[in-house]
Chains A and B, each alone.
Chain A
Amino acid sequence: MTKNQSIINGISKGLHIAIGYVPIGISFGLIAKSLGIPNGIIVLMSVLVYAGASQFMAVGLLAAGISGFEIVLTTFIVNFRHFLMSASLSSKLHEKLEEKALPFVAFGITDETFAYISMVKSDSIDTKWVLGLNVMAYLSWAMSTILGIFLSTSLPEIIQNSMGISLYAMFIGLLVPKVKGNRLLVKVTGISILIIVLFYYTPLTQLFASDGWRMIGIILCASTLGALIFPEAVDNLE
């Protein structure tokens, strides 16, 4: 694959994520605006922080008058899962990425870009591909936030409500085809669901101070169990 093909390929994959970000970015702009957050702060948050869930949470806390220290700490906890995602990608792609591009690749790691990059065979990935994908996702997030601010005249509620499902649908669209027909991944998915149920709906839920830590706990436990129970099958994965 030539350099140009790979950047175009990355951009076109990034478009899938970009489409998913539009409704969420618009909702973020709308909600932040309705909470009385200044336009500049709303846009800066999307441009500098670039992490959806933590931004929704932060504008909620800001509007409630919570202290800056608590907001930063909560942001850290909510976003620490990206440490695991970057670690996994670094392990998968260390031979594929150029050293000088790493700070930019890392900035663009979100739940969605991580999910997409993870599900593509590493043969067809290089620095340009990843950057093309990340840039599309990032621009979409920033632009749709701005769009949301100016759409505060409010979209019909029925449309907003149905769009909430879009990112989850994307995660399912990425996960299910991989799991289908792969006995190891069926079992790993089963273990993950079991741990999710244990950590959310039994007294074990008290182990975690917040949903952020809980999600990290789930990923750690499920991956550890899978790696311990099925060592050979995991070695043969992909």
Chain B
Amino acid sequence: MIIVGMAFVTYIPRLLPFYAGQLFRRTGFVKRFMKLIPYTALVALILPGVLKATDSIETSLLGLITAIILAYKKCHVVLVILGSIASVLVYQMIF
């Protein structure tokens, strides 16, 4: 029962906007607001959660900085992920 309830309250917010679409397809402010959501949401997904992604803040920062450098150099997403994991792993093995 609990799971069905969880599934329901998770699915409805995912589904509704696709049908209440006219509300979101205007021009002007609403359109601009919708265009920015991907970027603001990504920043909000990264911070501050990333700081607690590993056991210690040092390793989390190391993984974060490695990912930023690789992404800045336009490396492929998979390489960014693997590079970031590898940096944390190597740091943990040394210290």
Q: Which residue numbers of A lie inside 8 Å of B, CB to CB? A: 16, 19-20, 41, 44-45, 48-51, 54, 58, 62, 68, 71-73, 75-76, 79-92, 94, 97, 102-103, 105-107, 109, 111, 114-115, 118-119, 158-159, 161-166, 168-180, 185, 188-189, 191-193, 196, 200, 215, 218-219, 222-224, 226-228, 231, 234-235, 237-238
Choose among A41, A87, A170 the residue that contacts B34 (Cβ–Cβ < 8 A): A87
Choose among A62, A161, A173, A223 the residue that contacts B37 (Cβ–Cβ < 8 A): A223
Contact with A along B48-91 (1 / 0, CB 8 A): 11100111000110011011101110111110110111101100
Let me know if A171 and B42 touch, CB within 8 A: yes
Let me know if A173 and B70 touch, CB within 8 A: yes
Contacts beyond the supplied A49-B10, A179-B39, A196-B43: 13 A-B pairs with Cβ under 8 Å:
A16-B77, A48-B3, A48-B7, A80-B13, A88-B37, A90-B21, A91-B34, A162-B85, A169-B66, A169-B81, A172-B67, A223-B33, A226-B40
- The interface size of chain B toward A, counting residues with CB under 8 Å, comes to 70
- Residues from 1 to 26 in B contacting A, C-beta threshold 8 Å: 1-7, 9-11, 13-19, 21, 23-25
Q: Within 8 Å CB of B48, what residues of A?
A: 196, 200
Let me know if B37 and A219 touch, CB within 8 A: yes
Let me know if B14 and A82 touch, CB within 8 A: yes
Given A85-B41, A107-B14, A172-B71, are A49 and B84 also a contact pair (CB < 8 Å)? Answer: no
Q: Within 8 Å CB of B59, what residues of A?
A: 161-162, 165
Let me know if B39 and A94 touch, CB within 8 A: no
Q: Chain B at the A interface: mostly helix, strand, loop or mixed?
A: helix
Let me know if B24 and A189 touch, CB within 8 A: no
A182 to chain B, nearest CB (A): 10
Given A171-B45, A196-B48, are A234 and B36 also a contact pair (CB < 8 Å)? Answer: yes
Given A166-B81, A166-B85, are A68 and B5 also a contact pair (CB < 8 Å)? Answer: yes
Let me know if B3 and A41 touch, CB within 8 A: yes
Given A168-B50, A169-B85, A235-B32, are A158 and B9 also a contact pair (CB < 8 Å)? Answer: no
Choose among B11, B24, B55, B64 the residue that contacts A172 (Cβ–Cβ < 8 A): B64
7 shortest interchain CB distances as A-B pairs: A173-B80, A118-B38, A176-B71, A169-B84, A83-B13, A227-B32, A165-B63
Let me know if A49 and B46 touch, CB within 8 A: no
